[in-house]
Structure 1
Amino acid sequence: MIEIEESSGSVYADIGRSDAKEMLVKAQLATKIGGIIKARHLTQIQAAEILAMPQPKVSEMLRGKFRGISEAKMIDCLSRLGRDVQIVVKTAPRSRREGRVEVVFA
């Protein structure tokens, strides 16, 4: 019999990573960056020039290997790709003990 476990919504949390929140945010940012690059029909070399990153680093990021890339750099990449980025800090509802970090694309 196959046992099925419901996901928490984060594969990183599901596999027990201590940096699950950070990795999920980076994955969402990298996905958006990749989508913009694809929609603009940019090669990785062209994207690397725009993003001010070496092409191998762009390739790694687009394949989900973003350990050496900070969230700040990814936000800078979105800006370089013509996106406005807003960071909104608000009080968490009383029903939650802790705040959360989420990425919302408009």
Structure 2
Amino acid sequence: MIEIEESSGNVYADLGVPDADEMLVKAQLATKIAEIIKARKWTQMRAAEVLGMTQPKLSNMLRGQFRGISEAKMLECLAKLGRNVQIVVGPARRSTKAGRVEVVFESHA
């Protein structure tokens, strides 16, 4: 019989990857960057030029290899792609548990 374990919602945490929360945020940002590039039908060369990075670095990021790319750089990429980027710091939690970082993308109706 195959044992199935329910996900925590963060595959990186489920796999025991260090910095799992950061990796999840980067994965979400990279996915959005890839969606925008695809929607514009740009080549990676064109996108890399607009984003101010090399095509190999962009290619790595879009394939999930983003350890050498900061969240700040990824947010900058989204801004260069015409997206408004806001960083919102919410109220303190009542417990001693650490807060969380999440990415929320607004949809346009």
Name the TM-score, length of structure 2 as normaliser: 0.93
Report matched runs for 1:2-41 at 5 Å.
Answer: 2-41=2-41
Residue 96 of structure 1, CA deviation: 7.0
Q: In 2, distance between residues paired with 1:95 and 1:72?
A: 28
Number of the residue aligned with 2:47? 47
Q: In 1, distance between residues paired with 2:24 and 2:63?
A: 14
> Aligned to 1:58, what secondary structure does the other structure show?
helix
Q: In 2, distance between residues paired with 1:89 and 1:96?
A: 17
Residue 93 of structure 1, CA deviation: 3.9
Supply the AA of the counterpart residue of 2:87. I
Runs of 4+ aligned structure 1 residues displaced above 6 Å come to none
Supply the AA of the counterpart residue of 1:29. L
Residue 90 of structure 1, CA deviation: 1.0
Name the TM-score, length of structure 1 as normaliser: 0.95
Would the aligned equivalents of 1:91 and 1:99 in 2 still touch at CA under 8 Å?
A: no
Would the aligned equivalents of 1:92 and 1:98 in 2 still touch at CA under 8 Å?
A: no
Q: In 2, distance between residues paired with 1:30 and 1:44?
A: 13
> Aligned to 2:66, what secondary structure does the other structure show?
coil
Q: Give a deviation string over 1:26-84, Cα, whole Å, max 9, x none.
A: 00000000000000111000000000000001111111110110000000000000001
Residue 21 of structure 1, CA deviation: 0.4
Q: Give a deviation string over 1:73-106, Cα, whole Å, max 9, x none.
A: 0000000000010000011442672210000001
Residue 18 of structure 1, CA deviation: 1.9
* Backbone CA RMSD of aligned residues: 1.1
Report matched runs for 1:64-75 at 5 Å.
Answer: 64-75=64-75
Q: Percent identity?
A: 73
How many residues align? The count is 106
Supply the AA of the counterpart residue of 2:66. F
